[in-house]
């Protein structure tokens, strides 16, 4: 078996190959002076490439096109465009639907991690989704922490992590006090004097975590950490988080960042074995 790692996922591709005792395929990636991208690669069984940018998407398509195997598995740990899963205004493209169609025209086997929404999953014909929330919970197993979801919509994800960690969990609830005033606080749990871990699937600009941290610290939390599956970390997000008083930031390696301390290589390797 050979693993072809794309420019967005070189370390994760190597880890997956190590678990599977597979070879890393030889490949060349480059950009022409006019901005066009180029791929030349050995025939491979598995392509590993997150979609964190438009270039990543083009590289993924070229990689899948370049390899000759009829049975190809596309491992896309972070599937960009998944948040554009519906029309919010007239005339908008449902971006994840179109990207799913393009990728699936090159492979009928896709493995991804925490695709953001149930709606996004509907646009795929043959998607295997890995849930990294139990792995996040494992980082805090039997530690005296309380896990907090930034909103009710993410509560089910946090519940999965909290059950794996064997700890308390809650979500931040907005209460309208007046026409101009809104109070935000944990729904049920008093965080005073406790170590709090904010859990989310994606940290993008960090704004949500910064605001949640401010609220929790004002309510007497002993410390506030943040953990996520996908560390997009745009617009100096890490600087904002640490400046806001976040004690620690941890993420998986679906997007390879300095805070990627949880590897999804083993569950991905396990799913590859099931598909081959």
**Residues forming the active site:** 174
The response to whether 35 counts as a known ligand-binding position is: yes
Mode of pairing for the β-strands spanning 27-31 and 37-41: antiparallel
- Cα–Cα distance measured from residue 254 to residue 152, given in angstroms and rounded to the nearest whole number: 24
Helix, strand, coil % over all residues of the chain, rounded to 5: 30, 30, 40
The C-alpha angle 206, 210, 216, rounded to 5 degrees, equals 145
Q: Does the annotation place 36 within a ligand binding site?
A: yes
Kindly report the number of other CB atoms within 10 A of residue 209's CB atom.
25
The continuous run of DSSP H or E covering 134 comes out as: helix 133-138
CA distance 183 to 8: 40
Residue 176 annotated as part of some ligand binding site: yes
Q: What angle do CA 220, 134, 122 make, to 5 degrees?
A: 110
Q: Is 205 annotated as a binding residue?
A: yes
Residues 6+ positions from 182 with CB-CB distance below 8 Å: 174, 175, 176
Annotated binding residue at 204? yes
**Residue 84 marked ligand-binding:** yes
Query: For residue 151, how many C-alpha atoms fall within 13 Å in the half-sphere facing its CB?
Result: 7
200 has binding-site annotation: yes
- CB-based contacts of 18-25 (< 8 A; 24+ apart in sequence): 18/265, 19/265, 19/266, 19/269, 20/269, 20/272, 20/273, 22/46, 25/67
Are the beta carbons of 27 and 33 closer than 8 angstroms? Answer: no
The binding site for D-ribose 5-phosphate comprises: 176, 200, 204-208
The binding site for Mg(2+) comprises: 116, 151
The binding site for ATP comprises: 34-36, 83-84
The binding site comprises: 34-36, 83-84, 116, 151, 176, 200, 204-208
């Amino acid at each position: 078996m050979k693993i072809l790692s794309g420019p967005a996922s070189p370390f994760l591709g190597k880890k997956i190959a190590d678990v599977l005792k597979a070879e890393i395929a030889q490949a060349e990636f480059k950009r022409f002076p006019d901005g066009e991208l180029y791929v030349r690669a050995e025939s491979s069984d598995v392509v590993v490439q997150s979609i964190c940018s438009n270039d990543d998407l083009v590289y993924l398509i070229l990689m899948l096109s370049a390899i000759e195997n009829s049975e190809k598995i596309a491992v896309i740990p972070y599937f960009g465009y998944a948040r554009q899963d519906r029309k919010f205004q007239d005339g908008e493209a449902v971006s994840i639907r179109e990207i799913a169609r393009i990728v699936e025209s090159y492979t009928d086997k896709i493995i991804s991690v925490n695709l953001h929404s149930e709606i996004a999953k509907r646009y795929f014909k043959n998607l295997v989704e890995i849930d990294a929330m139990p792995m996040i919970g494992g980082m805090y197993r039997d530690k005296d922490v309380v896990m907090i979801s930034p909103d009710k919509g993410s509560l089910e994800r946090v519940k999965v992590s909290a059950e794996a960690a064997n700890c308390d969990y809650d979500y931040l609830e907005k209460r309208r006090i007046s026409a101009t005033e809104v109070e935000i606080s944990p729904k049920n749990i008093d965080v005073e004097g406790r170590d709090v871990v904010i859990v989310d699937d994606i940290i993008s600009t960090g704004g949500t975590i910064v605001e949640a941290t401010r609220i929790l610290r004002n309510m007497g939390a002993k410390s506030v950490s943040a953990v996520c599956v996908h560390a997009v970390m745009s617009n100096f997000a890490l600087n904002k988080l640490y400046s806001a008083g976040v004690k620690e930031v941890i993420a998986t390696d679906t997007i390879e960042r300095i805070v990627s301390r949880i590897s999804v290589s083993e569950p991905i390797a396990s799913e590859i074995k099931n598909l081959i």
